[in-house]
Copies of this chain bind each other. A is one copy, B any other.
Amino acid sequence: SRSLNLAVIPGDGIGQEVVAQGLKVLSAVLPQDVKLETKEYDLGASRWHRTGETLPDAELEALKGHDAILLGAIGDPTVPSGVLERGLLLKLRFAFDHYVNLRPSKLFPSTATPLAGRPDIDFVVVREGTEGPYTGNGGSLRTGTPAEVATEVSLNTAYGVERVVRDAYERANSRPRKKLTLVHKNNVLVYAGHMWKNIFDRVGQEYPDVATDYLHVDAATIFFVTQPDRFDVIVTDNLFGDILTDLAAAVTGGIGLAASANINPDRTFPSMFEPVHGSAPDIAGQGKADPTATILSVALLLRHLGFDAEAVRVEEAVAADLAGRDGTAATARTTDQIGDALAVRVAS
């Protein structure tokens, strides 16, 4: 019999609530012969308040033994901004070499969008996950004085850029429209921008069937709201990807539906699956959070582990559930009720 040995990091705020629904749906959809084992890791704000730890070495080591990680949300107003994000979430993404941060964006037929005209949106952002302005490289001199200087260094390597660009070409090549757009800002960030563009062009020669395009990040945000149907696959750096995928979530019905996968395609370490949304402390513990983003992240997890049919069932269940909603983002159901409904759908 097969097994799935999953690490679960509920994290902060609504993390616990949405992760519980993700696990509910995962259990319901897995084939009978797959033994699901989960181990919960107590990491996040309350752990930090209790012990001062964000991600101790022993736990980082233990996490390596799992097939995958399901994460809820990280970040809390009672903890200085950055402590948990850098010390836990980004630490995991970097330590486990999650260089493909995959974020699909699809506007489901009955889902409300802030965009007039309801454009046909169905693209996926391949966000680089281990370099760029996210490396933590930088510092502050004379902190807190009028003479303070603070730097943030964006680090980019041909090694790191080529592997994510190649992954994006592979994805574009396997999709019907076969279109790949690079987003950067190479008219200002000329060092990193030109390296990205050169590598993008060079690797593209190996994919003659993929149509390519380049957009500056500022222009890309315009097209996200005026012409989002022009996009198929987008590849971009860590920070631009962060910004663009929140915007993408907004135009496809909100952050309550946006899934993400932090993938290590080489499978040297476990990949990690999490909703794009944050910990939303303002609604935590009230049963108001939409667990759909986490459940769609579970679909990405299933696909990564080879359970393709099960992944499709989860996605179809979500599509059916969304079709039954009343077209507004708000829903009368609780977090738990949405999870229950989806668990029933995938099991039937």
Contact = CB atoms under 8 A, between A and B. Distances in A.
A313 to B, nearest CB: 30
Interface string A237-271: 00100110111011100110000000000000000
Nearest to A159: B146
A44 to B, nearest CB: 14
Contacts of A198: 144
A344 interface: no
Contacts of A133: 133, 152, 154, 188-189
Contact of A81 (B187, B219, B250): B187
A285 B247 CA distance: 34
Contacts of A222: 246-247, 249-250, 255
Given A85-B187, A156-B151, A246 B219 contact: yes
B243 A243 contact: yes
Interface in A67-116: 75, 81-82, 85-86, 90, 113-116
Contacts of A148: 157-158, 195
Contacts of A307: none
Contacts of A255: 222
A155 interface: yes
A41 interface: no
Interface residues of A, number: 69
Interface string A125-142: 000000001101011101
Contacts of A82: 186-188, 190, 193-194
A306 interface: no
Given A152-B153, A192-B138, A243 B218 contact: yes
B138 A191 contact: yes
A226 interface: yes
5 nearest interchain CB pairs? A218-B246, A82-B190, A148-B158, A221-B247, A152-B154
17 contacts: A81-B190, A85-B188, A90-B188, A114-B116, A115-B225, A147-B158, A148-B195, A150-B156, A151-B153, A151-B155, A152-B156, A153-B154, A185-B242, A218-B247, A219-B278, A224-B247, A225-B250
